Structure 1
Amino acid sequence: MKINLKRIDEDYHFELKNERGHVTYIDSKAAVGGHDLAPSPMEYVLMGVAGCSSIDIISILKKQRQEITSYNVEVIGHREKVGDATPFQLIEVIVYLEGTIAPAKAKKAAQLSFEKYCSVSKTLEPTATIAFKVVVNKEEV
């Protein structure tokens, strides 16, 4: 896996491209000298958690023939100062599903993702606690 980064302006706006040619951008908030034209690197970390776990959860539920009509995830990152950095200490994930879905299957799919399959979560596991909740048809399971 390889990513190339190219600086776009004189500050912190960057273009990133993967080996398959997909392009995205990173910037920083104006408060720290950026132009706020794209998500920050730490926001991309949270997006990675959301995307990776979602691929797992949907894949598991599809194999179990669960019918998902709506799928949304909210990820909240809590950071604490450690030396000069502010890494995530806690990442809260709330998975919202709607459809003909057995609540126990949805909860198990999320548990398998966060505890076994999601490479992003497993990468963060040594330094951040990842807590998750599953809500099926507006009821937490």
Structure 2
Amino acid sequence: METVTIWENRMAFNSTFDGHTINLNGETGADGKRLGFGPKALLLSGLAGCSGIDVVEILNKMKVEFTKFEIVCDADAVEEHPKIFKDIHITYKINADKSNEDKVRRAIDLSLEKYCGVAAMLRKNSAIIPKLEFID
């Protein structure tokens, strides 16, 4: 696996992988919002995507039907450098029959403990705390 990240200007970079490009930006606009994804936000998105793909595959194999699936990752960084994440909270929101709760929890556990390489890497420095919510 190889990515190529090129500085564009100021604190802006473009990173390319397999013909796809994402923008990263370390600056904050006048409104206080980031001008683009920062590296740590990409880590959280990577965790959500990695685990989400696992969970969808596992639920499909378990024949658990769902109509919506959303993953929210939240983490604060420590104050001192390097500013690594404290605990990472990952909330799985799913619209599925509540009778499948045990299967959904099993899929999440399998992802975080066995299959998701991003979770395995992040877990070496930060606790990953999952939560499940059923939504409409």
Tell me, yes or no, whether TM beats 0.5.
yes
Equivalent in the alignment of 2:14: 15
Q: Deviations over 1:54-110 (max 9, x none)?
A: 00001000011111101011110121134x221002100010111236000000100
Please show how residues 34-113 of structure 1 align to structure 2 within 5 Å. Answer: 36-82=34-80, 84-100=81-97, 102-113=100-111
Per the alignment, in what secondary structure is the counterpart of residue 113 of structure 2?
helix
Question: 1:131 maps to what in 2?
Answer: 129
Q: Which residue of 1 aligns with 2:4?
A: 4
Q: Equivalents in 2 of 1:42, 1:29: separation in Å?
A: 13
Q: Which structure 2 segments of 5+ residues have no match?
A: none
- Which digits, 9 at most, give the CA deviation of each residue in 1:1-33, with x for residues without a partner? 000011111x11001001x101001001328xx
In structure 2, how many angstroms separate the alpha carbons of the residues matched to 1:76 and 1:89? 10
Aligned-partner Cα distance in 1 for 2:34–2:25: 6
Q: How many residues align?
A: 132
TM-score when scaled to structure 1? Answer: 0.87
State how far apart, in whole Å, the 2-side matches of 1:7 and 1:90 are: 31
Secondary structure (helix, strand or coil) at the match of 1:66 reads coil
In percent, how many aligned pairs have the same letter? 25
Cα deviation, residue 137, structure 1: 4.1
User: Please, what TM-score do these two structures have when normalized by structure 2?
Assistant: 0.90
Would the aligned equivalents of 1:95 and 1:135 in 2 still touch at CA under 8 Å?
yes
